[in-house]
């Protein structure tokens, strides 16, 4: 079955790109706007993966006096302006993508990052690689781990779920893969613990980007 893999859907944050520093800066801009203390990058790391509304909700947990929608607006605007300040692709990712393109593997990105940020960032970070599609968060009903957008990407590739792997760094990604009937691959270099990926049903774990090639 492994030899039949013809498409890959990647998560973005914590999988292809290390976006933590820019996200943490945006969250802290929001906290400071409401007179709250800054939080460490490690604190923010634990909140990433389920979209900006939940990220902001976690950042102000226990502070019902702070309007969530206003917090989201501040964080979103700061991130819009500064989203490429510190972001970088993880080691080995450019070489991996080069080889996947050489092998004619179809590529797509699916993230819970707001779609506007996703499109703008991917246009810069992945300009040299052909992507079938890039999908970010558009509405709550379709947020990962809901499988519908993942299945739409599979359809755009002209493939079946059994021919596609989903690679991500969180339980959300593993559950998305399971819900869509895709092969779940956990990237251990991201923002979540190895144990979380295993418990969420990862079929494979990879510790380096190039290890993905052995699974194809």
Q: What is the mean pLDDT of residues 25-49?
A: 95
Q: What is the mean pLDDT of residues 16-40?
A: 97
Count of alpha carbons within 13 angstroms of residue 20, beta-carbon side: 17
In this prediction the pTM is 0.92
Q: Which domains does the chain have, with CATH numbers?
A: 2-18+87-215 (3.40.50.1000), 20-82 (1.10.150)
The pLDDT value given to residue 141 = 79
pLDDT digits (tens, 9 = 90+) for 120-172: 999 999 999 999 999 999 888 799 999 999 999 999 999 999 999 999 999 99
Residues classed as catalytic = 11
The pLDDT value given to residue 3 = 54
pLDDT digits (tens, 9 = 90+) for 176-194: 999 999 999 999 999 999 9
- CA–CA gap between residue 60 and residue 142 (Å, rounded): 24
Q: 196-200 long-range CB contacts below 8 Å, 24 or more apart?
A: 196/170, 196/171, 197/169, 197/170, 197/171, 199/171, 200/170, 200/171, 200/174, 200/175
DSSP H or E stretch at residue 109: strand 106-114
Output phi, psi for 186, to 5 deg.
-95, 125
pLDDT digits (tens, 9 = 90+) for 69-110: 999 999 999 999 999 999 999 999 999 999 999 999 999 999
- CA–CA gap between residue 160 and residue 8 (Å, rounded): 12
- CA–CA gap between residue 14 and residue 64 (Å, rounded): 30
């Amino acid at each position: 079955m492994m030899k039949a893999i013809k498409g890959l859907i990647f998560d973005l944050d914590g999988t292809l790109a290390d976006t933590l520093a820019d996200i943490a800066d945006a969250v802290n801009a929001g906290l400071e706007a409401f007179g709250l203390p800054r939080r460490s990058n490690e604190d923010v790391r634990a909140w990433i993966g389920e979209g900006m509304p939940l990220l902001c909700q976690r950042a102000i947990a226990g502070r019902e006096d702070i309007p969530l929608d206003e917090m989201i607006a501040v964080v979103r605007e700061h991130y819009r302006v500064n989203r490429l300040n510190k972001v970088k692709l993880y080691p080995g990712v450019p070489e991996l993508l080069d080889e996947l393109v050489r092998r004619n593997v179809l590529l797509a990105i699916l993230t819970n990052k707001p779609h506007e940020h996703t499109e703008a960032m991917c246009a810069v970070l992945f300009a040299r690689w052909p992507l079938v599609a890039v999908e970010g968060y558009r509405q709550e009903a379709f947020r990962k781990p809901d499988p519908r957008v993942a299945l739409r990407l599979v359809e755009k590739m002209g493939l079946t779920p059994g021919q596609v792997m989903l690679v991500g760094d969180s339980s959300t990604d593993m559950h998305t893969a399971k819900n869509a009937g895709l092969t779940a691959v956990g990237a251990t270099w991201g923002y979540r613990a190895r144990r979380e990926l295993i418990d969420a049903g990862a079929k494979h774990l990879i510790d380096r980007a190039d290890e993905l090639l052995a699974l194809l």
